[in-house]
Amino acid sequence: NAGVTQTPKFQVLKTGQSMTLQCAQDMNHNSMYWYRQDPGMGLRLIYYSASEGTTDKGEVPNGYNVSRLNKREFSLRLESAAPSQTSVYFCASRRLTGKAAGNTIYFGEGSWLTVV
């Protein structure tokens, strides 16, 4: 049972380059998320997709775009990478959005991105 799978795990980019982080979940979850983790900042929400066909901005969306390709896959794109986007990126998924009890969010293993 793979859960939430992210690729690549490590990537070094030059300033101005573009790249896409891929995420797939095999739990038939409806909602998917992209967070970034920076030292001393905790995790901050970049974008989320409450269900297939919808996407919404989170706390720190600038410089990113997302695509909910289908129910399983949710990609994050950096169009023109900047050093400030050096971070660890986590994809996550959840069965349903809303306040349903027992509705845990499951995380992938993370993608370490360095922009030089």
Partner 1 sequence: AQSVTQLGSHVSVSEGALVLLRCNYSSSVPPYLFWYVQYPNQGLQLLLKYTTGATLVKGINGFEAEFKKSETSFHLTKPSAHMSDAAEYFCAALNQAGTALIFGKGTTLSVSS
Cα 89 to Cα 58: distance, rounded to the nearest angstrom: 14
- Interface residue with partner 1 among 48, 60, 81, 113 (CB under 8 A) is 48
User: Phi and psi at residue 84, in whole multiples of 5°?
Assistant: -65, -10
**Rounded CA gap, 105 and 93, in Å?**
6
Give the shortest CB-80-to-partner 1 separation in angstroms. 26
The CA-CA-CA angle for residues 79, 85, 88, to 5°, reads 115
Cβ of residue 16: shortest distance to partner 1, in angstroms?
28
CB of 109 to partner 1, least distance (A): 4
Q: Does 41 bind partner 1 (CB under 8 A)?
A: yes
Stretch that binds partner 1, among 18-26, 63-71, 72-80, 97-105 (CB under 8 A): 97-105
Yes or no: say if 2 and 23 are a contact pair by the CB < 8 Å rule. Answer: no
Binding of residue 74 to partner 1 (CB under 8 A): no
109 makes contact with partner 1 (CB under 8 A): yes
